[in-house]
């Protein structure tokens, strides 16, 4: 056992001495400290539930905004569904804009909007958890509602701009040049859209410059997921039966959404670790590094729920358990 402990200590000292390795360990440990796996599962669930309402909202809004231009409306909807593996074609055939009287459409849109707000709410909650914002400082329902509506506006604007840019690339270039241009354009759009969404979702006291590193990481990763994720799922489902293929399609979509959720959270954790200098972290229980103590203290202070509540954190010495840090 002593030989194993000695080996682990050498590995721990080595990763702490090298900044790139220490940074990676810091991000991974922060992800675990914030229960990132549970947050990713919640985002995946709400994203799956909100998918149909969001597409109906998009289709209905485009029906009003692009009335008389069905081709432009179809291009935007196709762009919104192009990144969803396998199920995108089925959604395209079954999702249509709401129609009828103005009152019926208004009630339907409000109902759909209420159903789709869950994903925006859980994303705001996840960002507050990642940045360890105390409960007493988190915004109330109506500020979160306004930020949710702003998030939908940002996503819709980004989708329309991405569609227009992709159409321009396709009409001005051809062949391999068009494919390369579309890939570069997707990377730029994903990075910019990620930064805009992070700005909306992240607490306002976090400066925008602190959000940029994670977005520079997430933009290319989202582009890879969009490019190869659908191909991978399609390949796996190619020879399945009709009934099994239905369940496999749902599982494939959930897997795609879970990967997207993890990319989002790891990008956010990267921002926090870089902004606060939360590395190097220890791989072992003891001794704790200063970044270890700072993370644990932030997790404890995060539980403050009332203005009159104050959480104090004390670290004891490993030899005699006397207070070492407050």
Distance in angstroms (rounded) separating the CA atoms of residues 37 and 49? 19
Predicted local distance difference test score (pLDDT) of residue 242:
54
> ∠150-266-305 over CA atoms, to 5°?
65
Predicted local distance difference test score (pLDDT) of residue 114:
79
What's the whole-model pTM score? Answer: 0.85
DSSP state of 325: E
In 3D space, the residue among 267, 270, 263, 315 whose CA is nearest the CA of residue 289 turns out to be: 315
Phi-psi region at 133: left, alpha or beta (left = phi > 0; alpha = psi -120 to 50): beta
Q: What is the CA radius of gyration of the chain?
A: 23
DSSP state of 242: H
Predicted local distance difference test score (pLDDT) of residue 32:
96
Distance in angstroms (rounded) separating the CA atoms of residues 173 and 190? 21
DSSP state of 13: H
Residue 176 corresponds to which tokens in the numbers above?
């391999």
* Low pLDDT (below 70) residues in the chain: 1, 62, 65-69, 72-105, 108, 166-168, 170-171, 173-174, 229-246, 248-249, 318-326
Distance in angstroms (rounded) separating the CA atoms of residues 268 and 43? 14
Distance in angstroms (rounded) separating the CA atoms of residues 326 and 323? 8
Query: Which residues on neighbouring strands pair with residue 316, listed in sequence order?
Result: 323
Q: Where are the beta strands (DSSP E) in the chain?
A: 315-316, 323-325
């Amino acid at each position: 056992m002593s030989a194993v402990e000695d080996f682990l200590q050498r590995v721990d000292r080595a990763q702490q001495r090298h900044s790139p390795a220490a940074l990676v360990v810091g991000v991974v440990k922060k992800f675990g400290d914030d229960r990132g796996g549970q947050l990713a599962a919640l985002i995946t669930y709400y994203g799956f539930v909100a998918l149909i309402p969001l597409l109906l909202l998009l289709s209905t809004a485009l029906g009003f905004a692009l009335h008389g231009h069905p081709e432009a409306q179809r291009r935007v909807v196709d762009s919104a569904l192009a990144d969803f593996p396998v199920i995108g074609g089925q959604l395209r055939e079954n999702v249509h804009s709401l129609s009828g009287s103005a009152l019926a459409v208004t009630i339907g849109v409000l109902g759909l909007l209420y159903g789709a707000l869950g994903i925006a709410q859980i994303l705001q909650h996840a960002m507050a958890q990642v940045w360890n914002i105390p409960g007493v400082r988190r915004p109330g329902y109506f500020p979160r509602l306004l930020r949710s509506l702003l998030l939908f506006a940002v996503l819709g604007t980004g989708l329309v701009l991405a569609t227009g840019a992709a159409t321009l690339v396709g009409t001005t270039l051809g062949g391999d040049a068009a494919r390369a241009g579309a890939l570069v354009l997707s990377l730029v759009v994903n990075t910019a859209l990620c930064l805009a969404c992070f700005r909306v979702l992240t607490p306002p006291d976090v400066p925008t410059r602190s959000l940029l590193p994670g977005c520079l990481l997430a933009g290319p990763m989202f582009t890879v997921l969009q490019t190869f994720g659908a191909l991978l799922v399609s390949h796996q489902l190619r020879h399945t039966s009709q009934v099994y293929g239905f369940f496999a399609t749902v599982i494939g979509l959930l897997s795609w959404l879970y990967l997207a959720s993890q990319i989002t959270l790891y990008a956010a954790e990267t921002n926090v670790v870089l902004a606060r200098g939360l590395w190097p972290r220890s791989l072992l229980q003891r001794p704790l590094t200063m970044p270890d103590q700072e993370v644990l203290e932030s997790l404890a202070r995060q539980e403050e729920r009332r203005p009159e509540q104050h959480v104090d954190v004390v670290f004891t010495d490993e030899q005699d358990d006397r207070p070492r840090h407050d």
